[in-house]
Structure 1
Amino acid sequence: MAARVEACAPCHGDQGQGTNDVYFPRLAGKPAGYLYNQLLAFRNVRRKYPPMNYLLEFLPDPYLQDMADYFASLHPPLPPPAASDVSQEVLQRGESLVTHGDASRQIPACASCHGPALTGMEPGIPGLLGLRANYISAQLGAWRYGTRTAKAPDCMQTVAAKLTEADVTAVAAWLASRTAPVSLAPAPKGTYVLPFACGSEPN
């Protein structure tokens, strides 16, 4: 499989660790179920990015599952935290939203779904560490405006729609500034209860 996914390396790194391009995410160590769902979404053009749509267009489901399993099995170290040019106040706002949410606006904490260590949970919730601020901002924007969607109930769209541009900037900057926890492994399924139903994490 390492030879078969060499086409992924220029954008995602030879171990799925990401590259210097801030808009291509780390794949390594994310739950296989999450990676498989994203590969399906690109192949079926629910997620629209022409290079990915083209590369996956004719690959069958079992092959996509093998790809997902392969990248999930890789565990290269996280890159050093990115330097941030936002203020300390913005970083504090990001930390508050990630760890506590905003009950007044019915925004749950990112940690309530992505885990206390932000490493995700099997089988379908990804970790949020090792990603660049610009990538996180772009994905939250895609959720907000409906250009990225997921299986109903689309919990990320529900949450992202309540975020302001300032919220997105703060969350992205704080997440990108985090150092690696002791373990990057996603939590086992059922480790914690989600705050609401989510199509990517069936009961």
Structure 2
Amino acid sequence: MPDTMAQRMQACTLCHGAQGRATSSGYFPRIAGKPVDYLYNQLLHFRDGRRQNEGMARLLDNLSEAYLRDIAAHFAGLDLPYPPPQPPAVSPEVLARGEALVRQGDAERGIPACMACHGSALTGLGRAIPGLLGLPRDYLIGQMGAWRTGLRRASQPDCMGEITRRMSAEEVSAAASWLAAQPLPANTRAAPATDQALPMACGSHAQQGSRP
């Protein structure tokens, strides 16, 4: 059998689905087609303990940064169809609150719109900022909750940690519910990076430009 990256990555597909495409339900996210620097950063965070997952830590513990870049490049290069979005299981009022946070944020409390960083199409921006569509509601709630409580951390300054700590649990649930219910556009790839400044300093974005 050929020794290819696809063959080596079979361990990843046990949780993340065939070719890393996942599904529209469950806790494990899609990794196929995510921005390459984002995937690389997350592999580093799991390996180095900034993200807590025993299974991921065991898989990555002895892998070099060069090989983590190869893994990130493999999954970032996959262009696969997405499943249909989850039907919303919350009230129209909750969805409206979630949409307002995603599109507009809350300037009085220093909460930027999700679109301000993740792109107007919410498919990501550049090589380091991921899309927010096509992810299960429970996964989105779990990750934002982990940032709020410090169980998930990123390179400093940790902008997502700051943002989620300014949100209530109900707001996190509303934003996740709206995002999970949205269809994806025809072009699901991250938009090209621009010179426009983000609304907050973000350490992981500052690392953009590393080459896998």
- 1:45 CA displacement: 1.9
C-alpha distance 74-191 of structure 1, shift in aligned 2 (>3 A) = farther
Q: Which of these residues, 139, 164, 167, is aligned with residue 168 of structure 2?
A: 164
Q: Which of these residues, 92, 102, 105, is aligned with residue 101 of structure 1?
A: 105
TM-score, L = length of structure 2: 0.92
Deviates more, 1:189-198 or 1:5-14: 189-198
Q: Does 1:198 align with 2:202?
A: yes
Q: Which runs of 4+ in 1 moved over 3 A?
A: none
Q: Does 1:186 align with 2:190?
A: yes
- 1:20 CA displacement: 6.3
C-alpha distance 192-30 of structure 1, shift in aligned 2 (>3 A) = farther
Deviates more, 1:168-177 or 1:71-80: 71-80
- 1:179 CA displacement: 0.2
Counterpart in the other structure of 1:69? 73
TM-score, L = length of structure 1: 0.96
Give the Cα separation in 1 of the matches to 2:77 and 2:104.
31
Counterpart in the other structure of 1:45? 49
Counterpart in the other structure of 2:90? 86
AA partner of residue 172 (structure 1): A
User: Could you list the runs of 5+ residues in structure 1 that have no partner in the other structure?
Assistant: none
User: C-alpha deviations, 1:67-104, integer Å up to 9, x for none?
Assistant: 00011011211111102210000001000000000112
8 Å CA contact retained: 1:11, 1:21: no
C-alpha distance 102-151 of structure 1, shift in aligned 2 (>3 A) = same
Counterpart in the other structure of 1:124? 128
8 Å CA contact retained: 1:130, 1:176: yes
Give the Cα separation in 1 of the matches to 2:170 and 2:66.
41
User: C-alpha deviations, 1:151-193, integer Å up to 9, x for none?
Assistant: 1111001100001011011000000001011211111122643
C-alpha distance 117-93 of structure 1, shift in aligned 2 (>3 A) = same
Give the Cα separation in 1 of the matches to 2:32 and 2:141.
20
Q: Which of these residues, 4, 9, 12, is aligned with residue 8 of structure 2?
A: 4
8 Å CA contact retained: 1:11, 1:19: no
Give the Cα separation in 2 of the matches to 1:116 and 1:20.
22
User: Could you list the runs of 5+ residues in structure 2 that have no partner in the other structure?
Assistant: none
Counterpart in the other structure of 2:119? 115
Give the Cα separation in 2 of the matches to 1:144 and 1:196.
17
CA-atom RMSD in angstroms = 1.3
User: What is the percentage of aligned positions where both structures have the same residue?
Assistant: 52
User: C-alpha deviations, 1:114-157, integer Å up to 9, x for none?
Assistant: 00000111221111111000000000000111111111111001
Structure with more of its chain in helix, by fraction: 2
AA partner of residue 189 (structure 2): A
